[in-house]
Amino acid sequence: MGTRDWEVAQSKVRKWEEEQRASDLGTVTLERAIELFLLDAQARKLSDATIQKYKQIFKHLRAFVTTHSVRSIGQLDLQALRAFRVSWQCSGITSLKRLQHLRAFFRFLVSNGWITENPASKLRPPTVRTLPTLPLTREEVARIVAACEIQGERCRGPVYTKSENVRRLTELSQLRAY
């Protein structure tokens, strides 16, 4: 072993045992798993925006793994993922999306046989409270109409027609001139 220090010897033995378990399971490093997942995402023709979001969550995961001395994918259990989720500083909807991306990554790990179960599937989703979309007030409709007066006749017709039937701003914003 090349040492007389009991602590160093035990550390080396643990490392060897971990490497042996990893080779027995056919596991890969976290970096390699991320690389293969992103290649698979590109092969599935996911949008660039989606791939960017995966890269962002992986950036956070790498930082977490480094600071918490996680050496293998197998150490990313339910407790570790809960601690990882606590480190997220984002809104409820963003947290929900990140959890969905994390679950997809761990499904990929399970499907490749690198881990036996998906600990991310056991994480409960955050509570997301969305405010209902309220109808436009008369003042808001008047401002939209005034803006159309500036734009000209092309804009005015659809807005006058739709403003009587459609009251949500999102619906008005999706109008198209035919």
User: pTM for the complete prediction?
Assistant: 0.61
Q: How many residues does this entry show for the chain?
A: 178
Which tens digits make up the pLDDT trace of 126-169?
888 877 766 777 788 778 777 877 776 666 666 655 555 555 55
pLDDT at site 80: 92
Residue with tokens 């008047």: 142
Contacts of 107 (CB under 8 A, 6+ apart): 118, 121
Domains of the chain: 6-122 (1.10.150.130), 138-173 (no CATH)
68-71-76 Cα angle (round to 5) = 70
Reported as a single tens digit per residue, the pLDDT across 55-111 is 999 999 999 999 988 888 888 899 999 999 999 988 888 999 999 999 999 999 999
